[in-house]
Amino acid sequence: MDELLKLLQSNALEPRENIARMLNLPLADVNQRIADYEKRGVIRGYQALLNEDKLGLDQVTAVIEVKVTPEREGGFNSVAERVCKFSEVHSAYLMSGAYDLLLFVVGRNLREVAAFVSERLAPLEGVISTSTHFMLKTYKHHGVLMQQDKSDERLSISP
Amino acid sequence: MSGSPSLRNRINTTVRDMPRSGIRDFFDIVSTMKDVISLGIGEPDFDTPWHVRESTVFALERGVTHYTSNLGYLDLRRALVKYVQKTFGAEYNPDNEVLVTVGVSEALDLALRALINPGDEVLYHEPCYVSYRATILLAGGIPLAVETKAANGFRLTRAMLEAKVTPKTKLLMLNFPNNPTGAVMGREDLEDIAAFARERDLLVITDEIYGELTYDAAHTSIVSLPGLRERTIFLHGFSKAWAMTGFRLGYACGPTELIEAMMKIHQYTMLCASSLAQKAALEALARPESDIAEMLGEYRRRRNFLAASFAELGMECHRPLGAFYAFPSVAKFGLASREFALRLLTEEKVAVVPGTAFGECGEGFVRCAYATSLENIKEAMVRLRRFVARL
């Protein structure tokens, strides 16, 4: 992967001047390349990575496995696209193995998620079955540990 | 100095007259201060790759807690020769041409003690790692420092060596990529040095601990050049590229006669390197490319950032090509290196190491290690900018 993308992925707020220094590139090149990536839809957006456990939010996240009958035209895509229209669905993936779609669904409480599954998701045409798991705690998200602040054990000066 | 003069007089005179490492000296000052950003740390800020740590724990659980062969575990030596062949281009026999040591530091000491007779001269280049001069002296040798220059990218040339060599010179010590300058020697540079060693019939000790850490071109080892393998002791270890400093694991490869001589000293003084560290090293060799690539990319970005920052500050700094050190000149500020470093430390709480810790010719320079996070480097450069604006 382009090193520029890696840098943005680890910190999208890094000043462009610093990125230019790190990559040994002119600032204008960095700006141009980022603009190109945005235009091509390679970069889909920039978000803050939150430690939601610290926010005390009134919400639950469910991981839902969905078995689907693929459609003759469109395969899994048309069902997946329909599922993605629901704002409750934060992430959706097509999987290999015992089920087909993996969804991350957010609701205010268990009952709200249950209602979403039974009233919206399960009745969709093509959906065969669902299996819902509730998330209890986040340890690591997008490569970032949610608990950290470890100290540097090294001597402050060494040869 | 305090203490009893009568006790001091009973200390071995070489040791008594030897100054403490300039780094140690500076460390004592830094360690009394808080909130210092240190660019003075000569070891990776990365943790040892997890698979290496995990397998070390497993080895401990399995009871790998005994002495090993003096040379080191045979399976490790086999893995080492494969790695050295692939990475550095020299072939060794794992049965009698490899010795596993407690860090490269021990290997260096063994090599010098195994080769030097009293009065033998050893050529080495300065600025260099803090222990070279001291270990040569401890082994009874006479150190001949060859000064490398910023104008030449701190590379060593044959002419520099010719100016110092005498009929009593027995050994040439090399360390590229270099601590503290970040200098690298290309193949052509090394060919001249190799020809010099062959023509003068010198033995060579090459410390290539930073061999994996080059940023613009792949490293060439002098041991891969014609006629060098049979006169060279190649030293390497796991501290830098694998971030395994605390494991203390190094090794030496060389002709069997030389390894045997080193092994005798090792056998009587050290017995063997830590069994756990040896198992860790074996695991580290399982997938070196992926372990190192990640860190290398990060070091390169930091190197670029530092080099750009020095340029913006108008500080002259030859482009560091390897290891994780920049060695900018501070001469134009009219302060001695040590004074510059001390004032930067007390006024802005940024620690760098005075160049003089690496030899007298390091005067006018400071060593800035970029083995620390970009966040730290960025903040250090903000502070440095403020500091030099006042000078």
Compare CB distances from A23 to B42, B304, B353 and report the shortest one's residue: B304
Q: What is the mean pLDDT of each run of 10 residues along chain A (159 residues)?
A: 93 95 96 97 94 90 96 89 95 96 96 96 95 94 82 84
Q: Is residue A98 part of a domain?
A: yes
In Å, how far is A133's CA from the nearest CA of chain B? Answer: 30
Report the residue of chain A nearest B22, measured CA to CA: A159
Annotate B50-59 with b (16+ C-beta within 10 A) or e (fewer).
eebeebbeeb
Report the residue of chain A nearest B381, measured CA to CA: A18
Find the domain containing A85 and state its range.
52-137
Same domain flag for A9 and A63 = no
Q: Which helix or strand (DSSP H or E) is residue A67 part of?
A: strand A60-68
Closest-CA residue to B379 (of B353, B354, B348): B348
The reply to whether B5-48+290-390 and B50-287 are identical in fold is no
Tokens of B168: 């009593």
Look up the CATH number of the domain holding residue A76: 3.30.70.920
Same domain flag for A133 and A56 = yes
Which chain A residues contact residue B304 at CB under 8 A? 21-24
Q: Which residues pair with A65 in a beta bridge?
A: A102, A131
CA atoms B294, B299, B300, B302: torsion sign: positive
Q: Where are the domains of chain B?
A: 5-48+290-390, 50-287
Which chain A residues have any C-beta within 8 angstroms of a chain B C-beta? 3, 6-7, 18, 20-24, 152, 154-159
CA atoms B354, B360, B363, B367: torsion sign: negative
Contact (CB<8Å) B302/A22: yes
| Separation of alpha carbons B29 and B187, rounded Å | 41
Same domain flag for A56 and A126 = yes
Q: Yes or no: say if B40 and B353 are a contact pair by the CB < 8 Å rule.
A: yes
Same domain flag for A78 and A19 = no
In Å, how far is B161's CA from the nearest CA of chain A? Answer: 25
Which chain B residues contact residue A158 at CB under 8 A? 23, 27, 40-43
Q: Yes or no: say if B224 and B89 are a contact pair by the CB < 8 Å rule.
A: yes
Compare CB distances from A156 to B31, B45, B130 and report the shortest one's residue: B31
Compare CB distances from B351 to A154, A156, A159 and report the shortest one's residue: A156
Same domain flag for A131 and A56 = yes
| Separation of alpha carbons B54 and B288, rounded Å | 16
Number of domains making up chain A: 2
B130 touches chain A (CB under 8 A): yes
In Å, how far is A98's CA from the nearest CA of chain B? Answer: 30
Same domain flag for A60 and A107 = yes
Contact (CB<8Å) B308/A156: no
Per-residue pLDDT of chain B (391 residues; tens, 9 = 90+): 557 888 999 999 999 999 888 788 788 888 889 899 999 999 999 999 999 999 999 999 999 999 999 999 999 999 999 999 999 999 999 999 999 999 999 999 999 999 999 999 999 999 999 999 999 999 999 999 999 999 999 999 999 999 999 999 999 999 999 999 999 999 999 999 999 999 999 999 999 999 999 999 999 999 999 999 999 999 999 999 999 999 999 999 999 999 999 999 999 999 999 999 999 999 999 988 888 998 999 999 999 999 999 999 999 999 999 999 999 999 999 999 999 999 999 999 999 999 999 999 999 999 999 999 999 999 999 999 999 999 9
Same domain flag for A28 and A61 = no
Contact (CB<8Å) A23/B353: no
Same domain flag for A79 and A124 = yes
Under CATH, which architecture does the B5-48+290-390 domain have?
Answer: Alpha-Beta Complex (3.90)
Torsion of CA A60, A61, A65, A66, to 10 degrees: 80
Q: Is residue A68 part of a domain?
A: yes
Contact (CB<8Å) A157/B26: yes
How many CA atoms, within 13 angstroms, populate the side-chain half-sphere of residue B252?
Answer: 34
Q: Is residue A36 part of a domain?
A: yes
Same domain flag for A56 and A115 = yes
Q: What does R_g of chain B's alpha carbons equal in angstroms?
A: 21
Same domain flag for A64 and A130 = yes
Compare CB distances from A157 to B27, B179, B301 and report the shortest one's residue: B27
In Å, how far is A159's CA from the nearest CA of chain B? Answer: 5
Rounded to the nearest 10 degrees, the angle between the axes of helix A16-23 and helix A27-40 is: 110
In Å, what is the CA distance from A127 to each residue of A78, A83, A113, A118? 11, 10, 17, 11
Q: Is residue A18 part of a domain?
A: yes
Annotate B208-219 with b (16+ C-beta within 10 A) or e (fewer).
bbbbbbbbeeeb
All residues at 6 or more sequence positions from B323 whose CB lies less than 8 Å from its CB, including other chains: B177, B178, B179, B182, B210, B213, B240
At B2 the pLDDT is 58
Same domain flag for A36 and A113 = no
Contact (CB<8Å) B27/A22: no
Question: Amino acid identity, residue A141?
Answer: H
Q: Which residues pair with A64 in a beta bridge?
A: A103, A132
Which chain B residues contact residue A155 at CB under 8 A? 27, 31, 41
At A147 the pLDDT is 84
At A92 the pLDDT is 97
Report the residue of chain A nearest B353, measured CA to CA: A157
Interface test with B, best of A5, A21, A25 (most B CBs within 10 A): A21
Contact (CB<8Å) A3/B45: no
Same domain flag for A24 and A83 = no
Under CATH, which architecture does the B50-287 domain have?
Answer: 3-Layer(aba) Sandwich (3.40)
Report the residue of chain A nearest B302, measured CA to CA: A22
Q: Is residue A143 part of a domain?
A: no
Please tell me whether residue B90 adopts helix, strand or coil conformation.
coil
Q: State yes or no: ipTM above 0.85.
A: no
Q: What does R_g of chain A's alpha carbons equal in angstroms?
A: 21
Closest-CA residue to B70 (of B227, B351, B278): B278
Interface test with A, best of B305, B312, B350, B382 (most A CBs within 10 A): B305
Q: Is residue A159 part of a domain?
A: no
Q: Which helix or strand (DSSP H or E) is residue B100 part of?
A: strand B98-101
